[in-house]
Amino acid sequence: MIGRRKRFYTIHPLINTMNIRQRVQALKEERNAVILAHNYCSNEVQDIADHTGDSLGLSIKASEVDEPVIVFCGVTFMAESAKILNPDKKVIIPEEDAVCPMANMCTGAQLDELRSREPGVKIIGYVNTSAESKARMDICCTSANAVKVVESMAGGDLLFVPDRNLGRHAASEAGVEMRLWDGFCPTHQAITLGMVEDLKQEHPDAVVMAHPECRPEVLEASDHIGSTSQMLDFAHGSEAKEFIVLTEQGLLHPLRSNNPLKTFYTPEAALCPVMKMTDIRSVLRALEEMGPEVVLDEDTIDRARGPLERMIALR
């Protein structure tokens, strides 16, 4: 009896997951939809996606796909960017409460207030912001092209929002003076120098790769700094066999799939709860219900498109 019970509990969820995957696939074709997933999504979500990538890669992909429906697995600012770049498409986000806490650290109202006080300021905004905030920026950037974007704006009274760590890193790499908003990513901020030192001690031959959202002292202790896509390229091209990965754990999935003979370690703290809200059940439900849909007013879309397109031009 115990044995039969065990078989039921070990096999049933697997069959269920396979069924859900098949239903997602069938429904996706029926709805003429494309599924985009960020590198931080869970393994199962990345596996059902048509395209995975970082914010810049997915923003570009969103403007290239032919399908009229985009199911965006990630957090709300990413799905909003897809909508801004594709206003005629239906953009669906399976978990509408998946809001990046850093995006909430810099609101459109705060930027309006700032501009009324300092009309000459040029605002460079990380793409990890709401559509309302993007509508008030001069240019957006991602972690992949922040240095290039900052270089392109050199000379003015610059303010970088909202991520102080990425802003500091980009300013120093570009050799540009810039004020920084006091925002941060709680997931990357949770990675401490002590954690990095412990991992280095356990794996002395490992190369350390860090995302620029990490604390300055963590970046200083790293061998390579880059966006998730840049880390994927770096690990693939490197002759090293072991890597310490200082970013959200979801990146381990493509790193391990692309490099089966290499080993990757990451701190346990590097987990983003909002990126893990989407699972294959929520993707299936989104396709069944064709929602929740990203809805933005025309004025916000028109104002936010310029900063995003300027960002893509500097890819």
Q: Helix or strand or coil: residue 32?
A: coil
> Is 56 a binder of ligand SF4 (CB under 6 A)?
no
Q: Smallest distance, Å, CB 52 to ligand SF4?
A: 15
Looking at beta carbons only, is 17 or 104 nearer to ligand SF4?
104
Q: Is 109 left (phi over 0), alpha (psi -120 to 50) or beta?
A: alpha
Q: Is 74 left (phi over 0), alpha (psi -120 to 50) or beta?
A: left
**Run of H or E residues at 5:** helix 2-31
Burial code of 243-269, b = ≥16 C-beta within 10 A, e = fewer? bbbbbbbbbbbbbeeebeebebbbbee
Q: What DSSP character marks residue 135?
A: T
> Is 187 a binder of ligand SF4 (CB under 6 A)?
yes
Q: Smallest distance, Å, CB 77 to ligand SF4?
A: 8
Residues 244-273 within binding reach of ligand SF4 (CB under 6 A): 248, 272
Q: Smallest distance, Å, CB 248 to ligand SF4?
A: 5
Total residues interacting with ligand SF4, rule: CB under 6 A? 14
Looking at beta carbons only, is 69 or 275 nearer to ligand SF4?
275
Tokens coding 151: 């270089």
The one among 20, 51, 96, 101 contacting ligand SF4 by CB under 6 A:
101
Q: Do residues 307 and 134 touch, judged by C-beta distance below 8 A?
A: yes
Q: Smallest distance, Å, CB 123 to ligand SF4?
A: 18
> Is 75 a binder of ligand SF4 (CB under 6 A)?
yes
The beta strand positions in 39-113, using DSSP E, are 51-53, 69-73, 90-92
The one among 48, 73, 91, 102 contacting ligand SF4 by CB under 6 A:
102
> Is 104 a binder of ligand SF4 (CB under 6 A)?
no
Residues near ligand SF4, by CB under 6 A: 40, 75, 100-102, 128, 185-188, 248, 272, 274-275
